[in-house]
Amino acid sequence: MLADAYLDDPGWISVGPRNVARRHRYTRRVCRGALSVVQRWGGFIWHAERDGEVAGVLTSVDPGQWPPPQFRSIACQALGPALAGPGVLWRSLAADSTMHRHHPQDPHFFVWMLAVAPEHQRTGVGRALLQTALARAEELGAFTYLETAKPENLPYYASFGFREVGEAQLPRGAPIWFMMR
């Protein structure tokens, strides 16, 4: 579901293989690794179901839990970029470096991934997941941070009270925005 949701995301396009099928496999592997990191490092994985299938997923990390131990993160996430080839590996490392440079150092609640299956987008699935995560952040008294490379997401996140706090370029020139609430 995550790979399907991210298939047309400019950030994933800028980093992954140009071939759609190869990019889907790459994205699926990287997302599987990220889910493993969140699960092992004590983050939250929320999901919503529609008609018995996963319609959306949101992963988050509580304040003080970011970044996860480097070895654990690399071990879980390196397979996708490595199997996709040296160019994808280089672009993945460059994108990761860009995101880490802009990631806040102060304790914060981090919305790592929010994805909704294409057939369930614009049906309230993402909104419900994000509201659940933001309630957790408010319960903890923490500000919330996220990143997006999809320009259409900027007004969506702004409707939740997020504001842009920075912008950078990913490989192949795609912009990425850093947002806080």
Domains of the chain from N-terminus onward: 2-180 (3.40.630.30)
Residues 132-155 have pLDDT tens digits of: 999 999 999 999 999 999 999 999
Q: Give every CB contact of residue 124 below 8 A, 6+ residues apart in sequence.
A: none
Sign of CA dihedral 108, 173, 86, 6: positive
Residue 109 identity (one-letter amino acid): F
Residues 79-111 have pLDDT tens digits of: 667 777 778 888 988 998 999 999 999 999 999
Residue closest to 136 by CA, chosen among 65, 67, 72, 68 = 65
CB atoms within 10 A of CB 48: 20
Query: pTM of the full predicted structure?
Result: 0.92
Is-contact 88 26, C-beta < 8 A? Answer: yes
User: What region, left, alpha or beta, does residue 62 occupy, with left being phi > 0 and alpha being psi -120 to 50 degrees?
Assistant: beta
Residues 30-60 have pLDDT tens digits of: 999 889 889 888 899 999 999 999 999 999 9
Structure confidence at residue 172 as a pLDDT band (50, 70, 90):
very high
User: By percentage, how much of the chain surpasses pLDDT 90?
Assistant: 77
